[in-house]
Amino acid sequence: MPGDDNNYGFDGNPDIYGIGIRVGYYTQALTIWVANLWAPQEAPFTQSVTIQFLVALLVGVCVLCRNPTDTYAVEPYMLMQVAYYTMTMSFLGRPTPELLIWDVHYKSRFILDGIYLGMSSFDLWFWWFGVYQLKPTATPQGTPVFFVYFGQTDLFGWVRYVAREVNVMSLLLIMLDMLCVLIYRRMQKRLDHSVTPAKLKEQAAAWLEMHQRRPAVKSPSDNDDPISRDRSQAPSRASGGGKDIRGESTKELELGLRETWATAPPPYHPRRTHTGLLKRVMFGRSGLNAQLINKPPTVCTTTYTPCLANLFAAEELLENINPPPPKRSVWMRRLRGLSMPFRAMFLFFRLLLSLTTHRVRPGIIFALLSHQRNLGCSCRTNSSASVRLALTQPAYADPSIHAADIMLASRLHLALHPPAAPTRADTLRWAWSQFSACSILVIGTELTIQWNYIKGVQTIANVGQMVPFAIGVCGLTKVVWVALCDAAKGRVVTEEERAYRFGGFTVTVERKAWVEAAEAWDAARTEYLRQVRSEQGA
């Protein structure tokens, strides 16, 4: 009855989730959706605003829960749902194959992971401790909330245990991604320092010139006279008694195995501490520290140099870990799509079992994962399955092949063969999923407010609600207007605009330099394969 409804619920906070504030939340989510899909030139601005909005929202939720005895549990739950859906729509949206992993500044990914870590840390407190300190809502259904895939559920019911498991898994994944960012950054920095496009282009030109000047190998035949046949089979003096007739410098130039030897370091003398036995025992360093002090410094004797044979083997490894999928029926593909989470877990555990029987090379594994991430829509296998395939390849067990060879081969391959753009079906699937997320955000928030009988948040009663309302509506109007104007003029979105994202953008000059270096490498590789085939045929 209407008279009984007045005894339920509580008076809400219009400054945090009033109707004007909520409209600002919803329009911000719609603005992100429209900008990512139809106006990518507006995406950098909307994503920068989203970062500030999420940080402000997280700070506001923490301030709201400062006094748990005066705060209802449903309030921070609604606000965190807004934050998660907005974050997902903004930064986990349409794939951009033009933006490769080395084009994205590592600080941008670190900022996003930091925001996710802050949100997950608040959820850690909320689901494990805060839910028992915050107040429940006085309704016939308890504290009903909208939980995705399940609809109306009690916040203090079974949903707590599911949320705890999801929270722990998300924290582990976020910390793992932050570790991957640091490792990717370190590996890319070393590669960029050792190999530049100009240096690789010169090396490829030297490889090509050497193979073009190399004479064809002629095998002795029965038509030759015995003297020439015996001479061809006897070792040459220049070969050093049965070795390859090419000199060592020629082989070094071909294979790229030349080492850069540093000058001999000056003789090292242990440093004297000028202390007696008593002072060393009472105030001096321990024996281990003293050994570390008197240990001669390590001298780096080699630097990474691209090797033609290693790059060729690394490229074959990258091709073998991404085989074409077998042909399946439509129903089988749908069934595999529905069981994708379970298959991903199964493949991950199979990978762990395979690592117990094979040598673990973390550098090569991270380089392979980086290549798989760059493939985007062209990736035809799961990451766990790709790494498991790599364990059985001869190049993985070859000690002469390092992670730098894999990363350089991946960069050259992607420079010559960029990742495929998303198909129309992929774009429609992404657009529908993002629109569904926005719809769940709006419907779930409004239903949660009605189920909990929250009063005083359905009218714009103060100026504080008009400001976010106007900002959200004006921002959405601007982005929609830009999208309509581009569609009316028939304007084609450029690759740089499509690839532009928060914290990183496609550097056109550097990308062209790598394309030129990759073309030179491809010419040297073609000549190298021709020489190998001619020698095998001879």
Spatial distance between the Cα atoms of 411 and 406, rounded to a whole number of angstroms: 9
Determine the pLDDT at residue 449: 95
Determine the residue type at 63. Answer: V
What's the predicted TM-score (pTM) here?
0.74
Give dist(CA 321, CA 324) in Å, integer: 10
The CA distance from 435 to 27, in Å, is 12
- Which DSSP state fits 491? P
Q: What angle do CA 460, 145, 81 make, to 5 degrees?
A: 70
Structure letter (DSSP) for residue 128: I
> DSSP string covering 231-279, please?
HHHSPPTTTTSSS-SS-HHHHHHHHT----PPPPPPPP-PPP----HHH
- Give the Cα separation of 54 and 118 in Å (integer): 10
Determine the pLDDT at residue 128.
Answer: 94
Do the beta carbons of residue 44 and residue 502 sit within 8 Å?
Answer: yes
pLDDT of residue 99: 57
- Express each pLDDT in 157-170 by its tens digit: 999 999 999 999 89
In the predicted model, residues of the chain with pLDDT beneath 70 are 1-6, 92-105, 214-302, 337, 377, 492-509, 538
Position 264: which residue type?
A
Q: For residue 322, which of 383, 234, 406 has the smallest C-alpha distance?
A: 383
Closest CA to 256 of 213, 192, 300, 199: 199
- The domain limits of the chain are 11-193+422-506, 309-324+340-418
Helix (H) or strand (E) holding 123: helix 106-125
How far apart CA 7 and CA 465 sit, in angstroms, is: 27
pLDDT at residue 126, rounded to an integer: 96
Contact (CB, 8 A) for 502 and 49 = no
Distance CA 164, CA 162 (A): 5
Residue-level pLDDT at 251: 43
pLDDT in tens, 459-477: 887 777 888 888 889 999 9
pLDDT at 446: 94
